[in-house]
A and B are shown apart, each in its own frame.
Chain A
Amino acid sequence: MTSTILIVGGAFLASAVEMVEALTIVLGVGIVRGWRSTLIGVAAAGVVLAVLVAALGPALGSIPIDTLRLVVGALLLAFGLQWLRKAILRSSGYLGLHDEEEAFRTERMQAAAAGEDIRAGLDWYSFTVAFKGVLLEGLEVVFIVIAFGSAQGQLGLAAAGAAAAFVVVAVAGILARGPLSRVPENTLKFAVGLLLTSFGCFWGAEGAGVDWPGDELSLLAVIGFFVLVSLLLVRALRRRRVPSVVAGAET
């Protein structure tokens, strides 16, 4: 039960973060250059992602669960530690915070400056930017959903978490008619980094043959451990930080 709630919640949060970024790209292009080609680009990327999930999901079912957990754990750890590392650097002032308003402004400026190129009846700039943006952010969602779902044999639940995130972000975007800059994105990324790392650690160790004391409940202890370690690292880095701040980076 504990892991089920965490899987749905983790898939929801991770997907929401990626979808907020995809929404900023789509809105930036659509508002400046029109919606038809932009939305066709979004739909095309959606089809590619759906095919990917449909192909990979059942295929993973044939892999022995321990092997799957070892591989998924290793991938989640490598991937999650990137998020956590950047989140800690941001929180301690070494990296600039991600600013959705600024990303939106940049996207709009680039869309306005791009020349006109009509191919197959589409505004090619709008189509390709929307397609790439949704595909790249969506690939991370697909990766997380498949990793979370397959390692616990609950692909449907992880997908439901991602689908709920899609609905919430899409509705919020339509209502706001702008980037969701009020979403505490940096805090969410910190939380997602913690969840990815904790799940990766839990499943990776299980795949390597470990029996966790307390079974599923130890997942909560693992999360608590990484929360503590991360907060201590943020505190230590803040103390030794020199006044000048390194330029920002994206995740």
Chain B
Amino acid sequence: MRYLRAFGRFWWSFIVGDDWRVAAGVAVALGLTALLTYEGVDAWWLLPVGIALLLADSLRRATRNANASS
């Protein structure tokens, strides 16, 4: 059981890392892209814009905490 937990923790940290919201946002952005494409919209622009927003938001939260704690 201990090894299973350690294994799970390793993969969580490997894939998801410090900010789970980014990984969740990636899943949502990909899902929306697939949905729009299925509806006939070639939403090639959605993922780059979504990823840029996710990155900016994650950095904003990380640096806000850093600024607040200093």
Contacts and interface: CB of A to CB of B under 8 A. Distances in A.
Interface in B1-27: 14-19, 22-23, 26-27
Interface residues of A, number: 43
Interface string A137-167: 0011001000000000000000000000000
Given A78-B22, A218-B44, A242-B67, A233 B62 contact: no
Interface residues of B, number: 34
Contact of B34 (A79, A82, A209): A209
Interface string B18-49: 11001100110010011001100011101110
Contacts of B27: 74
**Chain A contact residues: over half helix, strand or loop, or mixed?**
helix
A205 interface: yes
Contact of B14 (A139, A201, A209): A139
Contact of B63 (A207, A208, A240, A244): A240
A205 B58 contact: no
Contacts of A94: 62-63, 66
A78 B30 CA distance: 12
Interface string A43-87: 000000000000000000000000000100111011101101100
